[in-house]
């Protein structure tokens, strides 16, 4: 299921990516009084043909990472490399190629599609924008896309509101595939769908990944889903990556206290399962004023003095497993 066409090249490389949103105050002369440090120096890479999972709770910055990768927000500092090219230094030609190669599927199937456009138009729009196919070949391509995602071939005439949530998400996937992209960013692709539909969509995503050799970044809060669909993953907390590893390794051997708390918190669909060993207390602090030192230290039950003074760097502990924690 996770075969894909794995290569050893990194299709996507993110280095010290940082995004700060300035906060202003004052009515007339607006002064910057602070910044929301949504993403604060993260680095990871994704091998072509694989899926990379990004998990974390609200405020951790994972959605901002998606927006930065999609060039919907400007980078404050750091860089993104796609197929070896620095996105900040792209020519306009390369920029257009980027748009063709990098697509997205978002969480809400109800606002992802323009309610006033027919499905056929929605699917053909990217093709038209990039003039990727002559006009006469477009209907065939649309039919092809519909078939790939398992929708009726006459769906093109209909409007989004005539479809269910799961079907709309299929339309969104079809649109993402329209230009034969290499990389698709999936931001919570199934969390807004009914439970019985999620499996269908996940299977679809896995199948097309294998068929087309796609690379995925999957952002989700459902740890079971991420375990199922990703080859490697990272856990984010307040704008930083606290742990990253190949998926199997991470679930088998979670090292960072936050990762362990997350895993413990997930309710298992098994009434016989033991009660979680502990429950994390406290709330996620505001990204405006992250705690000094290790950002997790106020909630950490293993906290030591050094944790409030120094921020732990991300260090390698073997098997491609990295952790940012002062504890051995």
Partner 1 sequence: MIIGPKEPLLVVDDLKTYFFTRQGVVRAVDGVSFSLTEGETLGLVGESGCGKSVTALSILRLVPEPAGRIVGGRILFQGENLLEKSESQMRQFRGSRISMILQDPLTSLNPVFTIGDQVGGPFKYHRRGGETRDITQKVVDVLKRVRIPAAASRLKDYPHLFSGGMRQRVVGAMAIACEPRVLIADEPTTALDVTIEAQFLQLLKQIQQEIGVALILITHNLGIVARICRRVAVMYAGRIVETGNVHRIFENPAHPYTKGLMDSVPRLGEKKQRLVTIPGQPPDMSTLPPGCSFWPRCEYAQEICRQEYPPESRLGEDGYVRCWLAEKQTQI
Partner 2 sequence: MEYGARSSNSVKDTALVFERQRPRNRVLQMLRTAPIFPSVILLLMIVAAIFAPFMSPHDPAAIDLELKLMPPFWQEGGTSAYLLGTDSLGRDVLSRLIWGARVSVIVGLLAIVFAGALGSVLGMVAAYFGGKVDAIIMRIADIQMSVPALVLALILSAVLMPGLKTVIIVIGIVYWTWYARIIRGEVLSIKERDFIALAKVAGCSRIRILFAHILPNIVNTLIVLSTLQLGSVIIYEASLSFMGLGVQPPSTSWGLMLSDGRGYMTVAWWLMTFPGIAIMLVVLASNLLGDWLRDLLDPKRRQFKL
| Cα angle value 210/214/215 (rounded, 5°) | 120
Residue 249 half-sphere exposure toward CB, CA atoms < 13 A: 17
Nearest to 151 by CA among 173, 118, 181: 173
**Alpha carbon distance 100, 301 (integer Å):** 47
Please provide residue 107's backbone torsions phi and psi, each rounded to the nearest 5 degrees: -70, -45
Q: Which listed range, 168-176, 258-266, 275-283, 294-302, lies at the site for partner 2 (CB under 8 A)?
A: 168-176
Token digits of residue 10: 């990194």
Contacting residue, 116, 270, 273, 279, with partner 2 by CB under 8 A: 116
Q: Is 91 in the site for partner 1 (CB under 8 A)?
A: no
Q: Is 200 in the site for partner 2 (CB under 8 A)?
A: yes
Binding status of residue 117 toward partner 2 by CB under 8 A: yes
Pairing of strands 85-86, 102-105: unpaired
Tokens for 137, please give them: 């070949």
CB 106 within 8 A of CB 191: no
Contact 171, 122 (CB under 8 A): yes
With respect to partner 2, which residue has the nearer C-beta, 168 or 299?
168
Tokens of 45: 């890479």
Q: Could you tell which of partner 1, partner 2, none binds residue 103, using a CB distance below 5 to 8 A set by kind?
A: partner 2
Q: How many Å apart are CA 248 and CA 212, to the nearest integer?
A: 24
Binding flag, residue 58, partner 1 (CB under 8 A): yes
Stretch of 50-58, 97-105, 238-246, 304-312 contacting partner 2, by CB under 8 A? 97-105
Closest CA relative to residue 292, chosen from 281, 303, 277, 302: 303
Kindly indicate which of the ranges 75-83, 167-175, 216-224, 230-238 contains the residues binding partner 2, using the contact rule CB under 8 A.
167-175
Binding mask 147-186 for partner 1 (x = CB under 8 A): -----------------xxxx-------------------
Q: Tell whether residue 168 is a contact of partner 2 (CB under 8 A).
A: no
Among 8, 31, 134, 270, binds partner 1 (CB under 8 A): 270
Residue among 282 and 328 whose Cβ is closer to partner 1: 282
Q: Which two tokens stand for residue 265?
A: 């918190």
Asked if 115 touches partner 2 (CB under 8 A), the answer is yes
How far apart CA 326 and CA 323 sit, in angstroms, is 9
Provide the token pair at 124. Answer: 């053909």
Which residues are at the interface with partner 1 (CB under 8 A)? 1, 57-58, 164-167, 194-200, 202-203, 206, 221-225, 227-228, 248, 251, 261-273, 276, 279-281, 283-284
Which residues are at the interface with partner 2 (CB under 8 A)? 70, 72, 96, 99-100, 102-104, 106-108, 111-117, 125-126, 129-130, 149-152, 159, 161-162, 170, 172, 175, 178-179, 200, 203-204
């Amino acid at each position: 299921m996770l075969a894909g066409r794995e290569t050893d090249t990194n299709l996507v490389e993110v280095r010290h990516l940082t995004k700060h949103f300035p906060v202003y105050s004052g009515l007339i002369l607006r002064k910057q009084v602070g910044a929301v440090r949504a993403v604060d120096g993260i680095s990871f890479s994704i091998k072509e043909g694989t899926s990379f999972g990004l998990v974390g709770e609200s405020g951790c910055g994972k959605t901002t990472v998606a927006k930065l990768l999609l060039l919907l927000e400007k980078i404050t500092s750091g860089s993104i490399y796609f197929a070896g090219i620095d996105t900040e230094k792209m020519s306009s030609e390369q920029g257009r190629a980027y748009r063709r190669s990098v697509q997205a599927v978002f969480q809400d199937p109800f606002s992802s599609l323009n309610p006033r456009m027919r499905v056929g138009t929605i699917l053909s729009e990217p093709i038209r924008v990039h003039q990727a196919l002559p006009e006469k070949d477009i209907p065939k391509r649309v039919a092809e896309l519909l078939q790939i995602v398992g929708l009726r071939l006459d769906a093109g005439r209909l409007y989004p509101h005539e479809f269910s949530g799961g079907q709309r998400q299929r339309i969104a996937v079809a649109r993402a595939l329209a230009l034969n992209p290499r990389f698709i960013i999936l931001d919570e692709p199934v969390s807004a769908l009914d439970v019985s539909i999620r499996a269908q969509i996940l299977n679809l995503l896995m199948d097309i990944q294998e068929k087309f050799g796609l690379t995925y970044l999957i952002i989700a809060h459902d740890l079971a889903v991420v375990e199922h669909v990703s080859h490697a993953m990272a856990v984010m907390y307040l704008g930083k990556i606290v742990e990253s590893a190949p998926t199997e390794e991470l679930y088998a051997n979670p090292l960072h206290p936050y990762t362990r708390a997350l895993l413990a918190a997930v309710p298992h669909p098994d009434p016989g399962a033991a009660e979680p060993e502990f429950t994390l207390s406290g709330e996620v602090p505001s990204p405006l004023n992250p705690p000094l030192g290790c950002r997790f230290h106020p909630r950490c039950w293993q906290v030591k003095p050094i944790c409030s003074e120094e921020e732990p760097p991300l260090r390698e502990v073997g098997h491609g497993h990295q952790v940012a924690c002062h504890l051995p």
